[in-house]
Amino acid sequence: MSRLPAELAYRLADRPEELRWLIDGLWAEEAVGIVGGEPKCCKSFLALEMAVSVAAGTSCLRRFAVARPGRVLLFAAEDALHIVRRRLDGICRARGLALAQLDVHVITVPVLRLDIEEHRQSLAETVAELRPRLLVLDPFVRLHRIDENASGEVAPLLAYLRELQRRYQLAVVLVHHARKGGGNLRAGQALRGSSEFHAWGDSNLYLRRCGERLTLTVEHRAAASTSGIALELRVADDDAVALQIADSPQPPAAEAPAISPVARVQRALEAATAPMTVAQLRTSCRIRNATLRRILAELATAGRIRKSVDGYSLATR
């Protein structure tokens, strides 16, 4: 084997902050990961919501801005094609979009098995031709015939998806079930099967239901995590069904007044009952990290906010 390429650490390219996210705060750019949860927790709806948002360049769940919109490739193994079409169309109509205008491609084969070399090759060729920004595979249990509890069998399939991600510079969303009765476990540890699933993800989203309450936990390998985001599946007057943040108002985007980034930070701190961290402010205000830190520095210099070990708060508190 020839010598592997190596570079001095200080010469490695410094990736610009604006290229870190595919969906700001929700999914890292070119990340692989899991959308996980027990049955009937709206995992597929969340994956389709992400697909529509990336293809349209609109905010996912009406909160998380899409930093790099682009083509989406989707395989829905459990649902008939007309159901996939109906769900996508409903999400689009709830967002004021037309499905026909979105660059979303749906793989229409009845079976796709990642443990079969011929199928892996076909998927790779499809990705190579379409060059999607995002690949959604839903769910993992229908994509193989292996033992999900055996690390030695799971790892090669996840490694194949990682290889796709690196070769074609795309993000991969893998929908996967959590084990029943895992509500007392940490979200990632509640995933069904091998611990390889939790370790594999760069960005992972976990859905949990307690009675009628549905919550989202966001976990990243290289960024702060967020938990307790309340979601709901809302049905519009025209029967369009879409997942959204439960406490999020739904005025038409054109009617919403423009609010400056500085004003958003101030409003978030005014509404807070305790100091807020940078990660919490980023999620609440939908502002890039560099911009947020500049705003916080300016407000602190002006004496309008103060910083403590717990985070930021208004200077009047």
Q: Is 2 a member of any domain?
A: no
Which residue, among 248, 204, 249, 247, has the nearest Cα to 227 in the 3D structure?
Answer: 204
203 lies in the same domain as 104:
yes
Residue 54 near residue 23 (C-beta atoms within 8 A): yes
Task: Give me the domain span that covers residue 290.
Answer: 261-314
CATH number, domain with residue 287: 1.10.10.10
CATH number, domain with residue 126: 3.40.50.300
Sign of CA dihedral 32, 189, 43, 17: negative
Domain finish residue from 252, 278, 299: 252
In the beta sheet, which residues pair with residue 134?
72, 171
Q: Is 158 a member of any domain?
A: yes
How, if at all, do strands 32-37 and 171-177 pair?
parallel
Domain finish residue from 233, 252, 271: 252
Q: How far apart are CA 161 and CA 128, in angstroms?
A: 13
Which residue, among 105, 64, 97, has the nearest Cα to 81 in the 3D structure?
Answer: 105
The tokens of 76 are what?
Answer: 């829905």
Q: How far apart are CA 195 and CA 201, in angstroms?
A: 11
199 lies in the same domain as 299:
no
Q: Is 175 a member of any domain?
A: yes
Q: Is 4 a member of any domain?
A: no
What distances in angstroms separate CA 95 from CA 53, 158, 170, 184, 243, one per listed residue? 9, 33, 25, 35, 11
DSSP state letter for 191: B
Residue 229 near residue 245 (C-beta atoms within 8 A): yes
In the beta sheet, which residues pair with residue 230?
215
| Three-class SS state of 255 | helix
Q: Is 112 a member of any domain?
A: yes
Question: Which pLDDT score, from 0 to 100, does residue 184 have?
Answer: 58
| N-term to C-term CA, the chain | 64
Q: Is 1 a member of any domain?
A: no
Q: b/e string for 121-151 if b means 16 or more Cβ within 10 A?
A: eebeebbeebebbbbbbbbbeebbebebeee
302 lies in the same domain as 229:
no
244 lies in the same domain as 283:
no
247 lies in the same domain as 119:
yes
117 lies in the same domain as 64:
yes
Q: Is 87 a member of any domain?
A: yes
51 lies in the same domain as 160:
yes
179 lies in the same domain as 227:
yes
Specify the number of domains making up the chain. Answer: 2
| Three-class SS state of 74 | strand
160 lies in the same domain as 271:
no
Q: Is 221 a member of any domain?
A: yes
Q: To the nearest 10°, the Cα dihedral for 129, 135, 139, 145? A: 40
The tokens of 72 are what?
Answer: 């989406």
303 lies in the same domain as 192:
no
The tokens of 122 are what?
Answer: 């076909």
Domain finish residue from 252, 282, 302: 252
In the beta sheet, which residues pair with residue 210?
213
198 lies in the same domain as 265:
no
Q: Report the chain's C-alpha Rg in angstroms.
A: 21
272 lies in the same domain as 176:
no
Tens-level pLDDT at each residue, the chain (317 residues)? 678 888 888 887 665 554 489 999 999 999 999 999 988 899 999 999 999 999 999 999 999 999 889 999 999 999 999 999 999 999 999 889 999 999 999 999 999 999 999 999 999 999 999 999 999 999 999 999 999 999 999 999 999 999 999 999 999 999 999 877 655 566 677 898 999 999 999 999 999 987 778 999 999 998 888 988 999 988 876 678 888 898 644 444 444 455 778 888 888 888 888 899 988 888 888 888 888 888 888 888 888 888 988 898 988 64
Task: DSSP for 122-143, please give it.
Answer: HHHHHHHHH--SEEEEE-GGGS
Stated pTM of the model = 0.73
| Three-class SS state of 59 | coil
